Chains A and B, each alone.
Chain A
């Protein structure tokens, strides 16, 4: 398990990185936290011609809470930094709820949130969070204005994003929560810190009298890309404390098409979608009440 020889570039600015990436085209591969790339290299499952190490580029390690409440995470922000970021948590609690489930501390200390999104693994927590928050990825390329690509367009399939040769994801933006909304995140892995057999990020929006107006959910490990499902119908207009969350969970189970693997059959995954949704929704509704001025 030793990688074959590869080239290495360590640009000092985004412009330089984009120039190097443009030169390399298909031969270049961006290295940030390396938590997925390095094992793939060592197992010779990928053999890029040149690694473009962006770790020395200043200005990519910032977490910014925008005025509209969205959270912008630079390409070099480690999961652990996002996890510990108080303003980001306040603006978007779902970020911390999900990030704390990303692997283990050692991986979170090196792995980047942006890289996790760019890796487009449907088992990744951050892909689901990007999707459910209506977030986007900021993609730069030499000689072009940075483009902003929404989650739905960004994720094309398992481990496949719309990032093309010469492009660099400079940041990801997680969308601000809707007014009177709350969120929850639950996942079940075989072992704590493993890729989830199933995970769910949910948001519940209530009206002023604490009745449900919108329910949305995005899942981990149940489809090729993190789709966002609308689960409002079975609970629309119901009081948050007595809503039929089980029906919403069952609806979710009917919408997903999970596949089985060594650790969880497709049927079992569908069951987890139902159960985890049913358990997450009341937590999200309670969160909405707690965070906003909704009359409980």
Chain B
């Protein structure tokens, strides 16, 4: 028996290195490189009339100043629309450097290359750009009114109109015993990784090859983009993601203008060039997400069964659509959650605004979809005077109904079919974990003491592990070291640990012998990337398949040497042995030596292996026709469609009636991502996700003013929660319903924690205040406004709050 590693909560192997400062992030690379600064648009919507660089060229140490006119070939073309879609009828992208106009504050116009970043900024400050102002469009309602346009040739500001539909919504709403209609909004936020983007490029003029380091979630695709845009042969370009200080979605977008411009300048100047984004740049020139306005109508019966749901969503897409309409697609499909629904229509109008582009941020449209569905459930319960958990329960898909076909097409272009799950059991666990049943008594006791408590819950289903594929390579070296490589990148997910656990278990080797490499196109050239909660499912299964190939080959070679049947062999702790015969053993390192017929005896291992060497028969080549030298395996995992994880969060909040400050008293999570590779890593993912969910629910806004200026573009005013704002304790219950779709039975876990945050916390605040919550996030100042509005009679109270006061008065 091999020591069990799959499923064990072992400590992350990468942490020690990263914590003691031995990580190698982008800005740790290339200290001698030239520095870059950009002149970025200070205006949200303007035509560029003139660019005067005369004062800047005089700054000592400046090497080059580039604007659009300097770009050539494909570089002068618009940036690609990565993921076209039939509903994306008016796609727009910017240029690497602005071509005559700018559509958001922060858009790059001029690139300055100097001895260092300090001098580059000195020069950038001296560049004068003349603008002709146009009226900026800020906010989805302004975009919908279309009094002015973001792009002159798209007068209605609509990039895409996506309709997802099944059943007959109009008829079902007409026949429904009850209906409710409401409008709600959810604010913008952003991925906001601690390390911003960054690119370093080095051109080898003799070799005619380019090496690029970039802080990305997809090195293979950046490589392809650079080769295409810079007209280089793919084999002359290598792209490496070094240690990456967080991504959360923003670094899956590619190519960023800087990912093209830095290598382009490095080739032109024949010098190493580096740009490391600063925080101010990140706020105004990377990407945001979340912002939606949702108009919802639901029909339901007396028991709270949802009969029809009609959602019209305005999605703020920012100035451009380089990443297509992935976020609207996900919102409109994942809105359905764990519930059965016969009649559904969701129209998402994806509108342009003169703001930073909108691309996936952890959750990627799911928090908004969850907000729509879960707040609908709360409305239904409130209207009927039913328990909110009971209304959810009656609508849940039952455990024996999988696979469950939702009759829609998911983000991967495949049918939205839930593969497995047990939602009723999940809800039961959640109720126990948070103390749902006894809460009303607690709440009213606290209220009698002048303390305002509230409870809320939200459930979700998350499509994870989207294709098309990932690959894995496993190689046993003659030293016994096991190299594992996969092409997707790592930004803190714990891949060095999780992939090693999988290979250790599959191959039967000690985890200490395993070294995992990711995100390096020199090691693995075919990959998709790390996003959509897909790394564990995709590369996890790929490295498992590769390890199985290695195991099979190792057993075949050992069987020949030990003259036994391969079926009688096992690998334990890196040694091949015959079951029931403790004497007959062969270390995997020796098998690795034997796997290569060229066997110069460089070392002891090779010399030892030669004692097993047998001459192949005289009429067979040393490497058989169907074989190759070396003990290695490569395989790909390509799923037929996504696998669907699920979860349920519940939260208890307390609102201070005096200061309106919100405290999270309890946060409970039940989570199902199929078989767990490493529960500790999954819990870490949940903790981080909950932290971001709390941020989105209580703290984070992108405060654009009416001119399109971001008012809070710094960590002083954009309020990500500190550790002091995240619940001290998060109670987690795991449920494991294996996925039938992949060999390991696993589902993704990366985004889960963030999805239900705003929905659950909105519900809890609504419960605590008795005031209808239609907009998130809420800070104490907004809660104070709500309370005053309630006192003035201008706020909408929940029906439940009226029921409670009636009960108290009787």
**What's the Cα separation between A192 and B125 when bound, in Å?**
36
Number of residues of chain A lying within 8 A (CB) of chain B: 27
Q: Does A3 contact B (CB under 8 A)?
A: yes
* Of A3, A43, A190, A191, the contact of B118 (CB 8 Å cutoff): A3
Q: Does A275 contact B (CB under 8 A)?
A: yes
Q: Does A109 contact B (CB under 8 A)?
A: no
Q: Is the interface of A mostly helix, strand, loop or mixed?
A: loop
* Of B125, B659, B717, B785, the contact of A262 (CB 8 Å cutoff): B717
Are A1 and B725 in touch, CB under 8 angstroms? no
**Min C-beta distance of A55 to chain B, whole Å:** 23
Find residues 209-246 in chain A having any chain B CB closer than 8 Å to their own CB. Answer: none
Q: Does B661 contact A (CB under 8 A)?
A: yes
Are A263 and B278 in touch, CB under 8 angstroms? no
Contact with B along A163-199 (1 / 0, CB 8 A): 0000000000000000000000000101111110100
Q: Does B727 contact A (CB under 8 A)?
A: no
Q: Does A83 contact B (CB under 8 A)?
A: no
Q: Does B583 contact A (CB under 8 A)?
A: no
Across-interface contacts of B721 in A (CB, < 8 A): 191
Instruction: Select from chain B the residue with minimum beta-carbon distance to A271.
Output: B784
Contact with A along B702-713 (1 / 0, CB 8 A): 010000000110
Are A192 and B279 in touch, CB under 8 angstroms? no
**Min C-beta distance of A268 to chain B, whole Å:** 4
Instruction: Select from chain A the residue with minimum beta-carbon distance to B787.
Output: A271
Instruction: Select from chain B the residue with minimum beta-carbon distance to A269.
Output: B781
Q: Does A294 contact B (CB under 8 A)?
A: no
Are A192 and B781 in touch, CB under 8 angstroms? no
Q: Does B48 contact A (CB under 8 A)?
A: no
Across-interface contacts of B719 in A (CB, < 8 A): 190-191, 194, 263
Given contacts A193-B722, A268-B785, contact A43 B280 (CB under 8 A): yes
Are B658 and A279 in touch, CB under 8 angstroms? yes
**Min C-beta distance of A270 to chain B, whole Å:** 10
Q: Does A4 contact B (CB under 8 A)?
A: yes
**What's the Cα separation between A195 and B712 when bound, in Å?**
14
**What's the Cα separation between A162 and B712 when bound, in Å?**
30
Find residues 1-50 in chain A having any chain B CB closer than 8 Å to their own CB. Answer: 1-5, 43-44
Given contacts A4-B122, A275-B658, contact A191 B117 (CB under 8 A): no
Contact with A along B438-476 (1 / 0, CB 8 A): 000000000000000000000000000000000000000
Are B118 and A1 in touch, CB under 8 angstroms? no
Q: Does A208 contact B (CB under 8 A)?
A: no
Are A268 and B118 in touch, CB under 8 angstroms? no
Across-interface contacts of B280 in A (CB, < 8 A): 1, 43
Instruction: Select from chain A the residue with minimum beta-carbon distance to B703.
Output: A262
Given contacts A2-B118, A276-B659, contact A265 B722 (CB under 8 A): no
Q: Does A264 contact B (CB under 8 A)?
A: yes
**Min C-beta distance of B594 to chain A, whole Å:** 56
Find residues 277-330 in chain B having any chain A CB closer than 8 Å to their own CB. Answer: 278-280
Q: Does A257 contact B (CB under 8 A)?
A: no
Given contacts A2-B121, A43-B280, A262-B712, contact A190 B779 (CB under 8 A): yes
Instruction: Select from chain A the residue with minimum beta-carbon distance to B725.
Output: A191
Contact with A along B102-145 (1 / 0, CB 8 A): 00000000000000011001100100000000000000000000
* Of A44, A192, A267, A268, the contact of B724 (CB 8 Å cutoff): A192
**What's the Cα separation between A3 and B722 when bound, in Å?**
27
Q: Does B780 contact A (CB under 8 A)?
A: yes
Q: Does A272 contact B (CB under 8 A)?
A: yes
Find residues 617-664 in chain B having any chain A CB closer than 8 Å to their own CB. Answer: 658-661
Are B658 and A1 in touch, CB under 8 angstroms? no
* Of A1, A191, A197, the contact of B278 (CB 8 Å cutoff): A1
**What's the Cα separation between A1 and B717 when bound, in Å?**
17
Q: Does B95 contact A (CB under 8 A)?
A: no
Across-interface contacts of A2 in B (CB, < 8 A): 117-118, 121
Across-interface contacts of A1 in B (CB, < 8 A): 278-280
Across-interface contacts of B278 in A (CB, < 8 A): 1
**What's the Cα separation between A279 and B788 when bound, in Å?**
21
Instruction: Select from chain A the residue with minimum beta-carbon distance to B279.
Output: A1
A sample of 9 inter-chain contacts (CB < 8 A) reads: A1-B278, A4-B118, A188-B780, A190-B699, A191-B699, A191-B724, A191-B725, A197-B780, A262-B703
> What is B's interface to A at a CB cutoff of 8 Å?
117-118, 121-122, 125, 278-280, 658-661, 699, 703, 711-712, 716-717, 719, 721-722, 724-725, 779-781, 784-785, 788
**Which 6 pairs between the two chains have the least Cβ-Cβ distance?**
A192-B724, A275-B658, A268-B781, A1-B278, A2-B118, A268-B784
